[in-house]
């Protein structure tokens, strides 16, 4: 038995679950394992240093799965932006069927993908952003609650309200993201009107995720209080794992007239990559969501996907259905 939703039909997948596009994590190893499990695996475009490297990673992923997978392309506020158009061209030329976009001003790229027949999913942290994405013509919106890893926006609206607002506002399908790590989260998302879920941190803690075992063990040890919010003074809030570096960053941000230059050496991307490569969880900053409190093991992607779907089915059929009486 499966949970058939608009999402499974649109994406051509068996289960209404998407693996979040995570920097330095969304490689062919993880994406193919998720897709082979019946969900949607996602390569992270900017994890690859060049567009041609992304082309090679897409081709490598195709040798590891025959199932649909997607590519995430996030548009970041940087001094020297990556060659986004070249990354987008590679995605189109390689006939990737699904793209997940995130960040600011994706309109021209969404137009490119739509003209090429690529299904588009855009991540949003506010209803006003979701409505804008809907007007741009995206196929699906991913609604990220305040619990999520990475950038939750500046409104601080948790998923319970944000998803319900999406259901009463949007005309296109949406998926729930942030704070979801088990079948209860999937069942709740469906009840709130979502057509599926997006899980990032939960897939980070799987056997196939290309990060050091010590990182996965730290996730299992963590709880819902094991994250920190950084960059708040600069209105670019990010949720990260609460390690010694996060504590230092928060202390510096509290100083009068704090600037990003004060913390820049601590939050360098190279330091974050070192965490995943060496297992030194205090080597730099790395993103993690409040779902840490719901992660208690390191399963394979197949086990995680199957378990999540079964838990959701049991909740819907064996618990909720019994509450409906004449």
Which tens digit of pLDDT belongs to each residue from 237-256?
A: 999 999 999 999 999 999 99
Mean pLDDT of the chain: 96
Tens digits of per-residue pLDDT, 154-208? 999 999 999 999 999 999 999 999 999 999 999 999 999 999 999 999 999 999 9
What the chain holds in terms of domains, given with CATH numbers, is 6-210+297-317 (3.20.20.70), 227-287 (no CATH)
**DSSP codes, 244-274:** HHHHHHHHHHTSTT--HHHHTTTS-HHHHHH
pLDDT exceeds cutoff 90 at 79: no
Percent of the chain with pLDDT over 90: 94
Are the C-beta atoms of 174 and 141 separated by less than 8 Å? Answer: yes
Answering whether pTM is above 0.85, one says yes
| DSSP class of 293 | G
> Does residue 44 contact residue 23 with C-beta atoms inside 8 Å?
yes
């Amino acid at each position: 038995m499966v949970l058939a939703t608009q999402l499974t039909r649109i994406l051509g997948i068996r289960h209404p679950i998407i693996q979040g596009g995570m920097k330095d994590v969304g490689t062919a190893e993880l994406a193919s394992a998720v897709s082979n499990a019946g969900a949607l695996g996602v390569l992270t475009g900017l994890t690859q240093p060049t567009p041609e490297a992304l082309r090679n990673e897409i081709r490598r992923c195709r040798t590891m799965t025959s199932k649909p997978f997607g590519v995430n392309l996030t548009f970041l506020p940087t001094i020297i932006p990556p060659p986004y158009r070249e990354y987008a061209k590679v995605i189109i030329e390689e006939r990737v069927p699904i793209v997940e976009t995130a960040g600011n001003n994706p309109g021209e790229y969404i137009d490119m993908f739509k003209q090429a027949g690529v299904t588009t999913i855009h991540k949003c942290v506010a209803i006003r952003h979701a409505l804008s994405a809907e007007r741009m013509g995206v196929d699906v919106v991913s609604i990220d609650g305040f619990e999520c890893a990475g950038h939750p926006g500046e409104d601080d609206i948790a998923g319970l309200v944000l998803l319900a607002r999406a259901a009463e506002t949007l005309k296109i399908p949406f998926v729930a993201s942030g704070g979801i790590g088990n079948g209860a989260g999937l069942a709740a998302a469906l009840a709130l009107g979502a057509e599926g879920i997006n899980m990032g941190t939960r897939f980070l803690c799987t056997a196939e995720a290309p990060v050091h075992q010590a990182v996965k063990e730290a996730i299992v040890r963590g709880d819902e209080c094991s994250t920190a919010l950084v960059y708040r003074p600069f209105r670019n809030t990010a949720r990260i794992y609460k390690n010694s570096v996060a504590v230092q960053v928060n202390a510096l941000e509290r100083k009068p007239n704090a600037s990003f230059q004060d913390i820049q050496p601590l939050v360098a991307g190279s330091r974050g990559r070192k965490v995943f490569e060496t297992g030194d969880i205090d080597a730099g900053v790395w993103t993690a969501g409040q779902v840490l409190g719901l992660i208690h093991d390191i399963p394979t992607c197949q086990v995680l996907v199957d378990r999540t779907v079964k838990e959701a089915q049991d909740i819907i059929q064996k618990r909720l259905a019994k509450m409906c009486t004449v």
